[in-house]
A = this chain, B = another copy of it.
Amino acid sequence: MGKTTMADVAKKAGVSKSTVSQFLNERYEYMSPDTRIRIEAAIDELNYQPNYLARSLKQKRTSTVGIIVANIMHQFSTEVSRSVEDYFNKHNMHAIVCNADNDPEKEKKYIEMLRAKQVDGLIIFPTAQNADIYKNMIKEEYPVVFMDRKVPDLQAPTVVSQNIEATYSAIQHFIDNGHERIAIATEPLTISPRIERHEGYKKALHANGIKINPEFQISTSIDKIKKELDRLFQLDAPPTAILAGNDIVFIEVLEFAKEKKLEVGESFALVVFDNIPFAHFVHPPVTTIAQSAYMMGEKAADLLLKQINKEQIDRHEVSFPCELIIRDSSKRLKEK
């Protein structure tokens, strides 16, 4: 029965609850070997399982943290979550993953629920729409780490990718391969990574003396991406290269190409900002900007655990470099 309690064990072993508790917490320094053995026996005779809930209530620590991802459909989110889980499991803690689905209301609900469950801390991919709640957590010094996205005007531990630099180098790669008409496609510019990717894009073009064509900058919701691409390819001078702003946009680009019978890597060069599991098996193998998902997860977990343990940490952003992995989709532009 799951209902055997510490009191039962105590009775069976002929000792008090406190002694059993001592035993369970491995403080057998001042315990006679005799009682120790009796308790041990009682425990597995009764098949006793301690109730962590009760312990947590008393100790004010659940050994559980929450992860709230903005959109679980991104490979990146999955990899980061996995990494965070691994980290906490190594430290005998649990992680609960929740998917806010890019919905600020859901995000709010999850923050409240997880805190009501007394999780020891939170790692959040913020929708960035709940500024008051974030601020409040920081003010209370509740352990929290933000991931992937910077929240404006908030001084909080945050782990992000070097989006500007990474995008810059991808665009430079296009230019080095002879491209000049380069497009970028992201979801709407509501969060920092997207903004920064556009920024890196413009910076690179500028540095190379290529004038920026606003028509080549797409930033719209997923369901409108294909329409925008279509518009682009109707132009007299369509782009010869495209940077897909994340893995979901990438799917749209692929589908667009398929529908319009365009050949990725032939009709246009392509780089994707994100880790793609089958990148070297898609046709053609696709050039990607890989984020250091695993390391970022570890870093965030580490920052969180330090806060939980009341250790001092830097309340600033820490940013990780990305890696441009060149495959066939972004080969040299064909001479016309």
List residues of A whose CB falls within 8 A of some B CB. Answer: 1-2, 49-54, 56-57, 62, 64, 72, 78, 82, 85, 89, 94-99, 112-113, 115-118, 140, 142, 254, 276-278, 281-284
- A50 to chain B minimum Cβ distance, whole angstroms, is 6
User: Which residues of chain B are within 8 angstroms of A281 by Cβ–Cβ distance?
Assistant: 254, 278, 282-283
- A233 to chain B minimum Cβ distance, whole angstroms, is 19
User: Which residues of chain B are within 8 angstroms of A94 by Cβ–Cβ distance?
Assistant: 96, 98, 113, 117
A131 to B72 CA separation, bound complex (whole angstroms): 34
Find out whether the CB atom of A115 lies under 8 angstroms from the CB atom of B2: yes
User: Which residues of chain B are within 8 angstroms of A85 by Cβ–Cβ distance?
Assistant: 97-99
Find out whether the CB atom of B113 lies under 8 angstroms from the CB atom of A49: no
A89 to B284 CA separation, bound complex (whole angstroms): 39
A64 to B95 CA separation, bound complex (whole angstroms): 13
A95 to B62 CA separation, bound complex (whole angstroms): 16
Find out whether the CB atom of A118 lies under 8 angstroms from the CB atom of B78: no
For the complex of A and B, the 6 pairs showing the least CB-CB separation, nearest first, are A283-B283, A52-B116, A278-B278, A281-B282, A53-B118, A52-B117
Known: A281-B278, A282-B282. A53 touches B49 (CB 8 A): no
Q: List 7 A-B contacts (CB under 8 A).
A: A2-B142, A49-B112, A53-B62, A72-B82, A82-B99, A277-B278, A278-B281
**Chain B: CB-nearest residue to A63:** B117
Q: Which of A50, A56, A254 has the most CB of B within 10 A?
A: A56
A51 to B56 CA separation, bound complex (whole angstroms): 11
User: Which residues of chain B are within 8 angstroms of A89 by Cβ–Cβ distance?
Assistant: 98
User: Which residues of chain B are within 8 angstroms of A78 by Cβ–Cβ distance?
Assistant: 78
The residue from B1, B62, B140, B142 contacting A140, defined by CB atoms under 8 A apart: B1
User: Which residues of chain B are within 8 angstroms of A254 by Cβ–Cβ distance?
Assistant: 281
**Chain B: CB-nearest residue to A139:** B1
A53 to B117 CA separation, bound complex (whole angstroms): 6
- A103 to chain B minimum Cβ distance, whole angstroms, is 12
- A46 to chain B minimum Cβ distance, whole angstroms, is 13
User: Which residues of chain B are within 8 angstroms of A112 by Cβ–Cβ distance?
Assistant: 49
A175 to B198 CA separation, bound complex (whole angstroms): 52
User: Which residues of chain B are within 8 angstroms of A115 by Cβ–Cβ distance?
Assistant: 2, 49
A252 to B100 CA separation, bound complex (whole angstroms): 35
**Chain B: CB-nearest residue to A113:** B94
A57 to B54 CA separation, bound complex (whole angstroms): 6
**Chain B: CB-nearest residue to A97:** B97
The residue from B1, B51, B95, B276 contacting A118, defined by CB atoms under 8 A apart: B51
What would 15 more interface pairs be, CB under 8 Å, given A52-B118, A64-B96, A277-B278? A2-B115, A50-B116, A52-B113, A52-B116, A53-B57, A53-B62, A53-B118, A85-B97, A89-B98, A94-B117, A97-B97, A276-B278, A281-B283, A282-B282, A282-B283
- A114 to chain B minimum Cβ distance, whole angstroms, is 8
A281 to B252 CA separation, bound complex (whole angstroms): 12
Find out whether the CB atom of B140 lies under 8 angstroms from the CB atom of A2: yes
- A111 to chain B minimum Cβ distance, whole angstroms, is 10
A142 to B47 CA separation, bound complex (whole angstroms): 15
A57 to B51 CA separation, bound complex (whole angstroms): 9
- A2 to chain B minimum Cβ distance, whole angstroms, is 6
